[in-house]
Amino acid sequence: MFIVSKLFWVFAQPLSLAFLAILLAVVAILSGLRRVGLALSALAALVLFVTLYTTTGSFVLQGLEARFPKPEGDPQSLGCMIVLGGAFETEVTTTRGGIEMNQAADRFVEALRLARRFPEAVILVSGGDGSLSGDYEGDAVASARFFSTFGIASDRLVRETASRTTAENVTNSRSLLSDRRLDNCLLITSAFHMPRAIGLFRAAGVPVTPWPTDYRTSGTVTLGVDLTQPTLNAQQAATAMREAIGLAAYYLTGRIKVLYPGP
């Protein structure tokens, strides 16, 4: 299932869909199916326009981010937190070492802030190598360097190094939480990813408190044309589409109980 999901996403993301439509259009025209070819060309152009030159991706992503409200203040006390991986550039860190991070770095920045604010809190980092090759260290491995660099004692860190997907994050974390008798942890992940993650933890019977971070939108995005930042628009659209596909896939396969988990 892991390999299937990875390969599916290669072709399902917006720019790949546009490319496939163009490719099929060429085949159709060469085969004498001119109208089919023109229709596929128009479809490709529409996908490219919506992806590159509208705020559709950011608008959808904004809805996902708003599903679980941002906490107004820190908790009174904190015994444990679960940090989902995806914030380290593991292809780079595997060969170069260090703590190179990507756009989701705020997951670990927020965990570090809370770890310093609550020195008794245990930090469970869930994240193995999610690549197809399996050649890289995962976030849980890289996170040990991150937290030690900022003075967080290693005995506060629980590393779950085997998971490759969000579903595996939950399954493997549940076992570690049970072994260490930890419960009611904060769940720290990107705000747009929180609905799917919460849905999985609920289905697994693991109580967690959502602690969204890594916001990608301002919260005031409206649908419209945006010709100024096609690269960002494409990135936002791909992220939103991937999350929507993930929610649908997990719901249809019975891994989450509702299509769009909420508070």
Q: Which of 184, 191, 168, 186 is nearest to 255 (CA)?
A: 168
For 180-222, what is each residue's pLDDT tens digit?
Answer: 999 889 999 999 999 999 999 999 999 999 999 999 999 999 9
Q: Which of 63, 28, 61 is nearest to 43 (CA)?
A: 28
The Cα–Cα gap between 125 and 203 comes to 20
pLDDT of 236 > 90? The answer is yes
The Cα–Cα gap between 140 and 88 comes to 9
Angle at 210 between CA 260 and CA 199, to 5 degrees: 30
The whole-model pTM stands at 0.92
Angle at 187 between CA 203 and CA 242, to 5 degrees: 70
The Cα–Cα gap between 112 and 151 comes to 10
Task: Report percent pLDDT > 70 for the chain.
Answer: 100
For 220-235, what is each residue's pLDDT tens digit?
Answer: 999 999 999 999 999 9
Residue 87 CB neighbours (<10 A): 27
